[in-house]
Structure 1
């Protein structure tokens, strides 16, 4: 059955309404992206300095000579994977990419044990792993669009307590790193225990703090200093990862909404062309009928 002119008109109006919504959402997400980028830029300098200090502690052998709850040489019997996703949809391929790359990362880093737990920040990841029957030991939903340090501190405190209580022996954070407004890359970083592997590439991220000496006079004691420095180090890395992931989420959502608006514009163009052709055909038919009737009256 041929589509009527009124049906085409209805589809055009409906698509225009959809485009109006997606365009507004794109503007909102772009605004959030601009805000969180300002926060991220300022925070990166702080993170680089914290990493630099911990790296120098490692070089001076203080990390090896002292003990802390966040350092451990216990055998790796269970691994924790902190997965950062969004709580909602309409973020393009963001969530599917994070989950796909995380699953691959888990397969590569299970080492000699197949026992692991999922710690999900974001409802999409939590729901996905629950449906698969995975051991979701912790979930946190409702991370703000522009996360604050105090908000993430609750997550860090819970995670570190789980580590100290032996619920897992090693922690990796899996998230999408923001590259630019149209692309992001997956990162899987070891956070706990704090050792040479988890410090990883901190050397390359040091700022001018790298001029610090590698020997220290410590008061009141090395252990007391590490009780302050190492939790702050872990907090800064996990907060930085969540902030980075949220930036990538907003960028993906903005791109997805722009793509939806562009597709709606293309569809409207096609529908308007179809409408004009149908209208022209209807007018031609009416003219033909009028002409035919006039000829019949003249006979």
Structure 2
């Protein structure tokens, strides 16, 4: 009984140590997610505005720009996957990788070769463990991205798209990331960045409001040359920030769940230790009473 009681006490102390770690990680994630959410709020309107501007320029001009034209007989498609550098964030990275696998199967069904670009050590580890090839990976900034990282990633994928599959590049660019909705909901998103999808619009909306007319200076082609790379960089930058906020929110929830589970486990071990102690006391009392009865019987 004594050995069993010591084992329960030891397990309880071990879980207590784990609880302190998960509680600390929960508080750290909770403090950092506030800033991450603010960065998402600040950058999302710009990303949406530049997307609308790029689509408007492309749809209202008669220029056949390489970044807006769908290429004949495309053979290779780049897939940029944004995951996390660390674990302990629930199914955050697993959901992104699962969705990227679905996209890969879809592209292969269309006759395209999927070329992977990875952001985050979890995605890199996933590919290395399965001996899958990938073009390049970036890591070290998943929960606190910088614009320099987004700029480097964008320059690389734009360069691959500009080369085209005939020169060893790609003909399409897809982005897989996690969109931050709120602290409870984060959704994995798949977006085709290049070639830019153009939605044809009427000159007036359903409520009679006229859409603006555009004049290009010096010309539409040069405007697109300047605008489209900025569009790609802003979208990747916003996707990194969205993913960072989603990762921190997922880690906060996972650590909160782990802390709650640790508390329940501590209660269970404490109860079992008390039961073992009570059983030990009961056994000792039984032995004392039995010994006293034996002595009384011997004196008769």
Indicate whether the TM-score tops 0.5: yes
SS at match of 1:92: coil
SS at match of 1:173: strand
Contact 2:89–2:248, Cα closer than 8 Å, also in 1: yes
Scaled by the length of structure 1, what TM-score is found?
0.88
Residues 108-187 of structure 1: matches in 2 within 5 Å? 108-166=106-164, 167-187=169-189
Structure 2: runs of 5+ lacking an equivalent: 201-208
| Cα distance in 2, alignment partners of residues 86 and 261 from structure 1 | 22
Q: In the TM superposition, what is the alpha-carbon distance from 1:45 to its structure 2 partner?
A: 1.5
Q: In the TM superposition, what is the alpha-carbon distance from 1:2 to its structure 2 partner?
A: 9.5
SS at match of 2:135: strand
Count of matched residue pairs: 284
Partner of residue 246, structure 2: 248
Contact 2:107–2:113, Cα closer than 8 Å, also in 1: no
SS at match of 2:181: strand
Residues 199-238 of structure 1: matches in 2 within 5 Å? 213-216=212-215, 218-238=216-236
Contact 2:79–2:116, Cα closer than 8 Å, also in 1: yes
1:236-288 alpha-carbon deviations (Å, 9 max, x no partner): 11111121112111111111111111111111111111011111111111122
Q: Give the direction of change, closer, same or farther, for the CA distance of 1:2–1:169 in structure 2 (3 Å limit).
A: farther
Q: Select the structure of larger CA radius of gyration.
A: 2
Q: Give the direction of change, closer, same or farther, for the CA distance of 1:157–1:211 in structure 2 (3 Å limit).
A: farther
| Cα distance in 2, alignment partners of residues 154 and 245 from structure 1 | 17
**Out of 183, 193, 196, which is 2:195 matched to?**
193
Indicate yes or no: 2:71 matched with 1:74.
Answer: yes
Q: In the TM superposition, what is the alpha-carbon distance from 1:211 to its structure 2 partner?
A: 7.8
Contact 1:116–1:168, Cα closer than 8 Å, also in 2: no
| Cα distance in 2, alignment partners of residues 45 and 293 from structure 1 | 84
Q: In the TM superposition, what is the alpha-carbon distance from 1:184 to its structure 2 partner?
A: 1.9
Q: Give the direction of change, closer, same or farther, for the CA distance of 1:289–1:80 in structure 2 (3 Å limit).
A: same
Structure 1: runs of 5+ lacking an equivalent: 201-209
Structure 1 runs of 4+ aligned residues shifted over 4 Å read none
Contact 1:118–1:134, Cα closer than 8 Å, also in 2: no
Partner of residue 86, structure 2: 88
Q: Which moved more, 1:10-19 or 1:157-166?
A: 157-166
| Cα distance in 1, alignment partners of residues 267 and 210 from structure 2 | 61
Q: Give the direction of change, closer, same or farther, for the CA distance of 1:130–1:114 in structure 2 (3 Å limit).
A: farther
1:180-233 alpha-carbon deviations (Å, 9 max, x no partner): 22332221100112242xx79xxxxxxxxx9872321x2233232222211111
Scaled by the length of structure 2, what TM-score is found?
0.87
1:6-64 alpha-carbon deviations (Å, 9 max, x no partner): 1110001110111111011011111121110011001111112212222321342x2x4
| Cα distance in 1, alignment partners of residues 90 and 289 from structure 2 | 55
Residues 34-53 of structure 1: matches in 2 within 5 Å? 34-53=34-53
